[in-house]
Amino acid sequence: MIRSVLIAATLAAVPFAAMAGAPRRDAILSDYATQASQANPGFSGFSAQRGELLFRTRWAGGDERTPSCTACHTDRPQGPGRNAKTGRPIEPVAVSVNPKRFTDMAEVEKHFSRDCKSVLGRPCTPLEKGDYVTFMAGQ
Amino acid sequence: MRSKLPLAAAILLFAAPLRAEEKSVPAIADPLVRQECGSCHMAFQPVFLPARSWNRIMDELANHFGEDASLPPDKAQRIRAYLTANAGDAAGGGWARRYMRWVAESGTPLRITANPAFERKHRLPDAVWKDPKVVTKSNCPACHTQAEKGWFDDD
């Protein structure tokens, strides 16, 4: 009896541990949604498809070593990347393989502010940030 | 023969720690410094630069080698305090002495890789620097796999 309870508890805990970041990620997304509707009253939700386009587009205006997100994160967000300027390995950005991603707002904002400047040559909009997180949450 | 054994043992005992000191630097003890300074590149041990260099680097984080590496003031303050307290001219000894020897008293170098102590040890063929895993000379762990722990003994 005790053993089966333990097994059940363990089984219940496994998906919970893997999903623990989801509420915090949702909170970040809802924060960006608020900002996006303030910027544009017609805002009707984030799009993984637009997020993917943002991820794969080769921009002009940023650092020539980082023309796109893929310059460091590679074409496969499920795989490891490498910082194109420093050579430092980067953990996968896809949430399915790296559930810690997009769970700390300060950390997320820090990276968007650095990386958008480097890749796009300008800050990202709340819509772009939400689209990107939505895309990665489904990867 | 018997008389040589203690001598050999003594050499082994004393030579090993000496070599270790020569080839290693104190690892970064503060997890905040490890995390924030190690976010985009290896967190370089503060002994490689004098305190005034770290102060200048912390003053200029908004343009950190062309990158905006700004940090919230509370974190920046704690990191600055750690880096300056453990800087090459504050800590002294071992590798710090070797690197500080080349720094002019009024000099404020920003690049560890421009120090002659670094250059002398890194006269390597172009092919090594062009390896896609290396990318730049400041990517110590590409070759020194224990660099972040302060070990550079694998060359």
CA distance A128 to chain B (A): 20
Ramachandran quadrant class, B43 (left: phi over 0; alpha: psi -120 to 50; beta: rest): beta
**Best of B37, B40, B130, B143 to disrupt the A interface by mutation (most A CBs within 10 Å)?**
B40
Q: Which residue type occupies B16?
A: A
Q: What is the pLDDT of residue B97?
A: 86
What pTM, to 2 d.p., does this model score?
0.82
* CA–CA gap between residue B30 and residue B17 (Å, rounded): 25
- Tokens at residue B38, please? 């190690």
Radius of gyration of chain B measured on its C-alpha atoms: 18
Across the interface, do A88 and B139 touch by the CB < 8 Å criterion?
Answer: yes
Domain A2-38+46-137 part of CATH 1.10.260.40 = no
Nearest to B67 among A87, A88, A118 (CB): A118
Domain chopping of chain A, boundaries:
2-38+46-137
For B43-57, how does the pLDDT look when each residue is reduced to its tens digit (9 = 90+)?
A: 999 999 999 999 999
CA distance B108 to chain A (A): 22
Across the interface, do A88 and B42 touch by the CB < 8 Å criterion?
Answer: yes
Burial of A133 (0-12, 13-18, 19+ CB in 10 A): buried
Across the interface, do A86 and B136 touch by the CB < 8 Å criterion?
Answer: yes
Q: What is the pLDDT of residue B17?
A: 46
**Best of B36, B68, B111, B144 to disrupt the A interface by mutation (most A CBs within 10 Å)?**
B68
Q: What is the number of alpha carbons within 13 Å of residue A85 lying toward its C-beta?
A: 19
ipTM: 0.81
Across the interface, do B136 and A63 touch by the CB < 8 Å criterion?
Answer: no
For B109-125, how does the pLDDT look when each residue is reduced to its tens digit (9 = 90+)?
A: 999 999 999 999 999 99
